Amino acid sequence: MIARIARKEFVDAWRDGRFRVGAVLMALLLVTASLLAWKQTERAATERAAAAALERTNWLEQGEKNSHSAGHYGVNVFKPVSPLGLFDRGIEPFVGTTLFLEAHRQNQASFVPAQDATSMRRFGELTASTGLQLLAPLLVILLAFGCIAGERERGTLRQVLSLGVSPRALVLGKTLGLGAALASLLVPIGVAGALLFTRLDTDHVDGLGGRAAGLALAYGLFLGTVLALSVTVSALASSARNALALLLTLWAGACIVAPRLVTDTVHDALPTPTLAEFELEMNQDLQSGLDGHDPRSKRLEEFAQKTLKEHGVANVMELPFNFQGHVMLESERMAGEVFDHHFGTLWDRIEEQDRAVTLAGVVSPLLALRSASMALAGTDFAHHRHFSTAAEQHRREFVRVLNEDLKRNAKPGDHGYVAGRALWESLPEFRLAAFPVERAVERAGLGLALLAGWFLAACAALFFAAGRLRVSVA
């Protein structure tokens, strides 16, 4: 019986002109958005690879110079493009793409793509993910709002139930039929999209298949929730018109209002410092240390005394190595502690904010979906932090090697020392290790759990509503 009801509902859905128009538009939007995003992703990847190659040449051909000066000359590293970003661009347009690595300083990634854009950017971007997050629920609502309320209004509900069909079978069959209609539209597009991924350069993505499966699960749970809720409302509402009004209000609240409202509220409760405050505090700590006891000069003086004592000499000129290089190594170590503390605190705070916004997924499943989707697509803050941290590690190692060279190879007190291409070549290019898929799944875990919770709750609501199905028009 359930299968027969489902089949009828499936056929009806595809016969409905509104759904057909909606489905065609949806398919068109998803396909054009994905193709345009694909082109953009490929271009960005080529550009960044070319720039990285050019930057490597610049580094190798910088000529002979003091190895510490080479540290100041520095090197730019570019953030690799996440191929799954063509599905969900996440925060990518709003984080820097280029990071300058130099001696003494940890920089933030600069050149935010959104800065090079018109204010149209603020309307958001049409990607496959925004289509599925904002528009697909509307299609579901359009499909489902009248499925029971409409029958009740027309009087056919009474007829069907008088035939002895159990209300639960009817509701379940209808839900399955509508779900199948939706799946018959979205699954082929999803499969085509997955095929598109396989054509991309996916060297620095770990577990592409797992990520894609996770995305399918997240969106499936989300749209399943919307469908179950829509049918529930249709079963309980007094008229199709009221069901539609309620569903559209819920949609606007959850998808349009909630993201901004929740984000702004969370940021008021857990504020981030301004750039000026952040730099002021960091510079203070660079000068006087994290404990704030001794100024930098005093600590370096103590370090010099300690070094002299260790080697049993009275003057730095008598040390078996270049003292300048030795001090540079120590001051980098000291600064590194300060950077770790300040950047660590800032980034922890940002992740805390993101977690709080995800938790608000209890109120709007869209927030849970967004966070899970970005984490799996590799375009959330955790992935960006992974890049920033790896680049900083690279910077420290690179500056350390240069300072070590100065310490070992420059004669004490020799200011004319220069190193050359051999040393430049010994420093490897920056390669970003892939973000492990397990960690991505872990990041997406909270969102996925909330989505699963929503789905179960919506199914329970549906079950309950089916039990209370009323025949008469109120």
Partner 1 sequence: MKLFARELRLLLRDRAAWALVLLFAGVLAYALWNGADLARRQRDTARAIEQSTAAFDKQVREVLGVQAIDPRQLARQPLTASFTPAPLPLLASGQADLAPMHESVSLFRLEQPSDARVEIENPSRLLAGRFDLAFVLVWLFPLFLLALAYDLIAGDRESGTLRMVLARGVAPWKWIAVRAIARGAPVLALALAATLLSGWSADAAVGARLAFACAVVLAYGLFWLAVAALVNGFAKSAASAASAAGAAWVGIVLVIPTWLNVLVESLHPMPSRAELVASARQAAGDAERRGSELLSSFYKDHPEWMPPGMQADFMQQLLAQQDEVGRAIDPVRERFAAELRDQQSMVETWRFLSPAIATHEALTDLAGTGYWRTEAFRAQVAAFKQRVEDFYAPRIHGNKPITKDDLAALPRFTFAEEPDAAWQGRVLASIAGKLGLVMLVLLIALRRISARVLAVSSA
Please report whether residue 97 would count as binding partner 1 according to CB under 8 A.
yes
Please report whether residue 445 would count as binding partner 1 according to CB under 8 A.
no
**Least CB distance from residue 258 to partner 1, whole Å?**
10
Q: In terms of CB distance, is 40 or 307 closer to partner 1? A: 40
Please report whether residue 310 would count as binding partner 1 according to CB under 8 A.
no
Please identify which residue in 353, 364, 388, 403 interacts with partner 1, judged by CB under 8 A.
353
Give the interface segment with partner 1, choosing from 211-219, 222-230, 353-361, 422-430 (CB under 8 A): 353-361
Please report whether residue 415 would count as binding partner 1 according to CB under 8 A.
no
Report d(CA 392, CA 108) in Å as an integer. Answer: 10
Please report whether residue 170 would count as binding partner 1 according to CB under 8 A.
no
**Least CB distance from residue 471 to partner 1, whole Å?**
20
Please report whether residue 269 would count as binding partner 1 according to CB under 8 A.
no
**Least CB distance from residue 115 to partner 1, whole Å?**
6
* Residues in 314-343 at the binding interface with partner 1, rule: CB under 8 A: none
Q: In terms of CB distance, is 18 or 411 closer to partner 1? A: 18
Please report whether residue 259 would count as binding partner 1 according to CB under 8 A.
yes
**Least CB distance from residue 65 to partner 1, whole Å?**
10
**Least CB distance from residue 128 to partner 1, whole Å?**
11
* Residues in 9-38 at the binding interface with partner 1, rule: CB under 8 A: 18, 29, 32-33, 36-37
Question: What is the Cα 462 distance to its own chain's centre?
Answer: 33
**Least CB distance from residue 355 to partner 1, whole Å?**
11
CA atoms within 13 A on the CB side of 20: 6
| Residues 101, 395 contacting (CB under 8 angstroms) | yes
Please report whether residue 344 would count as binding partner 1 according to CB under 8 A.
no
Please identify which residue in 27, 62, 166, 303 interacts with partner 1, judged by CB under 8 A.
62
Report d(CA 13, CA 19) in Å as an integer. Answer: 7
Q: Quick one: CA torsion of 162, 165, 171, 175, rounded to 10 degrees?
A: -130
**Least CB distance from residue 95 to partner 1, whole Å?**
5
Please report whether residue 306 would count as binding partner 1 according to CB under 8 A.
no
* Residues in 228-257 at the binding interface with partner 1, rule: CB under 8 A: 239-241, 244-245, 248, 252, 256-257
Please report whether residue 94 would count as binding partner 1 according to CB under 8 A.
yes
Please report whether residue 47 would count as binding partner 1 according to CB under 8 A.
yes
**Least CB distance from residue 452 to partner 1, whole Å?**
22
Report d(CA 12, CA 158) in Å as an integer. Answer: 19
Q: In terms of CB distance, is 66 or 127 closer to partner 1? A: 127
* Residues in 119-148 at the binding interface with partner 1, rule: CB under 8 A: 119-127, 130, 134-135, 138, 142, 146
Please report whether residue 474 would count as binding partner 1 according to CB under 8 A.
no
**Least CB distance from residue 104 to partner 1, whole Å?**
16
Please report whether residue 2 would count as binding partner 1 according to CB under 8 A.
no
Please identify which residue in 117, 191, 192, 460 interacts with partner 1, judged by CB under 8 A.
117
* 98 backbone dihedrals φ, ψ, rounded to 5°: -125, 135
Q: In terms of CB distance, is 140 or 316 closer to partner 1? A: 140
Please identify which residue in 10, 19, 78, 87 interacts with partner 1, judged by CB under 8 A.
78
| Residues 341, 290 contacting (CB under 8 angstroms) | yes
Please report whether residue 112 would count as binding partner 1 according to CB under 8 A.
yes
Please identify which residue in 27, 31, 114, 418 interacts with partner 1, judged by CB under 8 A.
114
| Residues 95, 350 contacting (CB under 8 angstroms) | no
Give the interface segment with partner 1, choosing from 6-14, 53-61, 313-321, 327-335 (CB under 8 A): 53-61
* Residues in 180-219 at the binding interface with partner 1, rule: CB under 8 A: none
Give the interface segment with partner 1, choosing from 102-110, 171-179, 318-326, 440-448 (CB under 8 A): 102-110
SS (H, E, C) the chain: CHHHHHHHHHHHHHHCHHHHHHHHHHHHHHHHHHHHHHHHHHHHHHHHHHHHHHHHHHHHCCCCECHHHHHHHCEEEECCCCHHHHCCCCCHHHCCCEEEEECCECCCCECCHHHHCCHHHHHCCCCHHHHHHHHHHHHHHHHHCCCCHHHHHHCHHHHHHHCCCCHHHHHHHHHHHHHHHHHHHHHHHHHHHHHHHHCCCCCCECCHHHHHHHHHHHHHHHHHHHHHHHHHHHHHCCCHHHHHHHHHHHHHHHHHHHHHHHHHHHHHHCCCCCHHHHHHHHHHHHHHCCCCCCCHHHHHHHHHHHHHHHHCCCCHHHCCCCHHHHHHHHHHHHHHHHHHHHHHHHHHHHHHHHHHHHHHHHCCHHHHHHHHHHHHHCCCHHHHHHHHHHHHHHHHHHHHHHHHHHHHHCCCCCCCCCECHHHHHHCCCCCCCCECHHHHHHHHHHHHHHHHHHHHHHHHHHHHHHHCCCCCCC
**Least CB distance from residue 125 to partner 1, whole Å?**
6
